[in-house]
């Protein structure tokens, strides 16, 4: 038991510290540093988010996938490709979905999700370099943020009424999270998600390398 604790504790400490730092960075970035205005809370301390966000929970998806894929340089490459294939498939799906069927019909979204899910699995024929188990969560991460920020395009005005640089005006908010305060146009949904997934890979690489430095070397 003692040897197991000694082996795991450095990684746990590093992951805990990096999780703290990432949470601080992403939330401050979105609500303090890169904002449309500084009056979200009425005291000048919080701002309405810009189109581009760092999405706090999304980085943990690719961070976990990095370790699931092996936690080494090869894993980082696999998960990076997974973020590209998965997020780009979702990027193409969103406009096709609302061009096919608008609200309240979900079948347009369902149709294109099904088609691209089929395509993402079929890419496996290209070889072992393609990690479909990582691609699917990245594909889903974009849709998660699209739903959270108002399903812009599928629901007219869902991403805000355009009065504040494409975001929802607090007085006429869209259906996104926070009463529409973080409603986001669908191209920005993709870009924010993809960049945040890449941040998760970087966190994975840092946690693996820092933990290796802190782990005691076995006695000769």
Predicted confidence (pLDDT) per residue in 110-168, tens digit: 999 999 999 999 999 988 889 999 999 999 999 999 999 888 888 876 765 555 444 44
CB neighbour class for 13 (10 Å; exposed up to 12, middle 13-18, buried from 19):
middle
- Whether residue 186 contacts residue 159, with contact meaning beta carbons closer than 8 Å, is answered with yes
The single residue listed with the structure tokens 């990076």 is 80
SS3 164: strand
pLDDT reading at 2 higher than 70: no
DSSP 178: T
Comparison of pLDDT for 189 and 171, the residue scoring more: 189
**Residue 5: count of CB within 10 angstroms of its CB:** 9
Backbone angles phi, psi at 205, to 5 degrees: -60, -45
Q: pTM for the whole thing?
A: 0.89
Backbone angles phi, psi at 36, to 5 degrees: -80, -45
Task: Tell me what pLDDT residue 36 has.
Answer: 67
Per-residue tokens: 125:
């024929």
Distance CA(68)–CA(119), nearest Å, equals 23
- Whether residue 196 contacts residue 27, with contact meaning beta carbons closer than 8 Å, is answered with no
Task: Tell me what pLDDT residue 166 has.
Answer: 46
Q: Once rounded to an integer, what is the mean pLDDT over residues 73-80?
A: 95
CA of 155: how far to CAs of 29, 73, 97, 150, in Å?
28, 41, 11, 8
pLDDT reading at 92 higher than 90: yes
CA of 195: how far to CAs of 84, 144, 200, in Å?
10, 15, 9
For 96-161, give the DSSP string: HHHHH--TT--HHHHHHHHHHHHHHHHGGGG-TT--HHHHHHHHHHHHHHHHHTT-BTTBTTTT--
Comparison of pLDDT for 127 and 59, the residue scoring more: 59
Instruction: Using pLDDT thresholds of 50, 70 and 90, give the confidence band for residue 174.
Output: low
Task: Tell me what pLDDT residue 168 has.
Answer: 47
pLDDT reading at 39 higher than 60: no
Q: Once rounded to an integer, what is the mean pLDDT over residues 1-7?
A: 71
The single residue listed with the structure tokens 């990684």 is 11
pLDDT reading at 42 higher than 80: no
pLDDT reading at 35 higher than 70: yes
Per-residue tokens: 77:
């490459």
DSSP 167: B
Task: Tell me what pLDDT residue 159 has.
Answer: 63
């Amino acid at each position: 038991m003692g040897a197991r604790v000694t082996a795991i504790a450095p990684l746990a400490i590093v992951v805990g510290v990096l999780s703290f730092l990432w949470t601080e960075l992403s939330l401050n970035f979105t609500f303090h540093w890169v904002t449309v205005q500084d009056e979200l809370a009425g005291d000048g301390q919080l701002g309405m988010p810009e189109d581009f966000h760092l999405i706090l929970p999304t980085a943990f998806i690719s961070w976990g996938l990095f370790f699931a894929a092996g936690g080494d340089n090869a894993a980082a490459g696999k998960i990076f490709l997974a973020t590209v294939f998965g997020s780009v498939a979702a990027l193409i799906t969103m406009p096709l979905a609302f061009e096919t069927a608008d609200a309240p019909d979900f079948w347009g979204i369902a149709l294109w999700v099904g088609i691209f899910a089929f395509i993402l699995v079929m890419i496996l024929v290209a070889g072992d370099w393609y990690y479909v188990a990582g691609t699917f969560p990245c594909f889903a991460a974009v849709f998660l943020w699209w739903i959270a920020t108002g399903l812009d395009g599928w629901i007219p005005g869902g991403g805000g009424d355009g009065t504040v640089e494409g975001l929802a005006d607090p007085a006429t908010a869209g259906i996104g999270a926070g009463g529409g305060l973080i409603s986001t146009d669908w191209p920005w949904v993709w870009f924010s998600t993809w960049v945040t997934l890449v941040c998760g890979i970087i966190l994975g690489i840092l946690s693996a390398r820092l933990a290796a430095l802190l782990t005691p070397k076995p006695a000769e």
